Amino acid sequence: MTRPRVRSSRPAGVSRGGPSRGADQDPAPTRSAARRAAAAVMGLALRLAPCAACEARGAGPEGVCPACARAIRAALSDAPASPAADTVWLGPYAGPWRRLVHALKYRGATRLAPFLGALVAARVVAVGWHPRLVTHVPTTPARRRDRGFDQAELLAAAVARSLRVPHAGVLTRVRVTSKLAGQGRAARQAELTGAFRARYLAGREVLVVDDVLTTGATLAAAREALHAAGAGGVRCAVVARTVAHEGSGPDEEPRGGLRAR
């Protein structure tokens, strides 16, 4: 006796194991919709985020609003590009420069690092420097743990990318220093003497990057360690330099105890 055939109630394209991966189930539209949704959320977040320079809403991907980005670049292009000794900086540690550094350093606005690093690199090129290696002044291990990053390392990596040279963390803190804020030049020098060690550099020209220059003691200690490790030449670049108070020398501690190296 022949059994009657039973029609399958499964829709076409569906096997016993579940839906087949045929043309009827293309994941591309789903992925595309997810990407569009993510882009929309990111765009909204950027429109609502405050600019790190003027604090108005509308910070772009760089962390600053388009108006501030244009103004900062224009001010730099008009500024004289003459280094003092072997260190260059973008501006005084006041106003928008102070807000930018604080946003990066204390509020975790790490997207500012590529923007600031590119500006520092442009200043290095403007003064005719041609480093073969970019490094940074490392922060203390405790501060790195607290912040989750080292702001000088992020800046140095961005500078190196713009200059198209390698970036390496060749400096190491060999001892923990006490808090430097509020200390004058002599006290900082005494505290930082011998604080760094560097890997062998075989005559390479090195650019040291940091966020803020206060008395110059930290950069001097870093420079000393790099020369001891065989660097052929050491120059420094920072985002901002503290403004010396009236009657002081250029490397003395400014009034107000700004938190800077």
Is residue 161, in this structure, part of any structural domain at all? yes
Tokens 């072997």 sit at which residue?
86
As for how many domains the chain has, the answer is 2
Residues 95 and 135 in one domain: yes
pLDDT of residue 59: 80
The verdict on 73 and 86 lying in the same domain is no
Same domain, 74 and 88: no
Residue 38 has pLDDT above 90, yes or no: no
Tell me which of 69-73, 144-148, 160-164 is least confident. 69-73
Q: For the ranges 147-151, 159-163, 177-181, 249-253, which has the lowest average pLDDT? A: 249-253
Question: How confident is the model over 125-137, as pLDDT tens digits?
Answer: 999 999 999 999 9
In a domain, 17, yes or no: no
Q: Highest mean pLDDT range out of 83-87, 168-172, 241-245?
A: 168-172
* 139 has pLDDT over 50: yes
Strands (E), the chain: 14-15, 18-19, 87-92, 133-136, 171-173, 196-198, 205-213, 233-241
89 lies in the same domain as 208: yes
- Do 51 and 141 have their domain in common? no
Strand ranges in 163-226 using DSSP code E only, listed in sequence order: 171-173, 196-198, 205-213
195 or 253, which is more confident: 195
What's the rounded Cα separation, in Å, for the pair 156 and 212? 13
Is residue 137 in some structural domain?
Answer: yes
pLDDT at 50: 86
- Out of 53, 78, 103, a domain closes at 78
**Between 169 and 49, residue with greater pLDDT:** 169
Paired strand residues for 15 = 18
Q: How many residues does the chain have?
A: 261
Q: Is residue 1 part of a domain?
A: no
pLDDT at residue 43, rounded to an integer: 45
Q: Which of 10-14, 111-115, 175-179, 246-250 is the most confident on average?
A: 111-115
Whether the CB-CB separation of 101 and 212 falls below 8 Å is answered with yes
Does residue 2 lie in a domain region?
no
Is residue 205's pLDDT more than 70?
Answer: yes
**Range of 45's domain?**
38-78
The partner residues of 234 in beta bridges, in order of sequence, read: 206
Of 28-42, 52-66, 78-92, 145-159, the poorest mean pLDDT is in: 28-42
How much is the average pLDDT of 188-205? 80
CA 130 to chain centre: 20
Residue 166 burial (CB count, 10 A): 12
Q: Are residues 171 and 65 in the same domain?
A: no
pLDDT of residue 45: 46
239-to-55, 120, 158, 191, 211 alpha-carbon distances in Å: 19, 7, 12, 23, 5
Q: Which residues contact 172 (CB under 8 A, 6 or more apart)?
A: 138, 196, 197, 198
Q: How many CB atoms lie within 10 A of CB 233?
A: 17
Instruction: Kindly state whether residue 6 falls inside one of the protein's structural domains.
Output: no
Q: In what order do the strands lie in the sheet with 233-241?
A: 87-92, 233-241, 205-213, 133-136
Task: Give yes or no: residues 61 and 92 share one domain.
Answer: no
Mean pLDDT of the chain: 78
Per-residue pLDDT of 58-109, as tens digits, reads 787 888 998 998 888 888 867 666 565 789 999 999 988 999 999 999 999 9
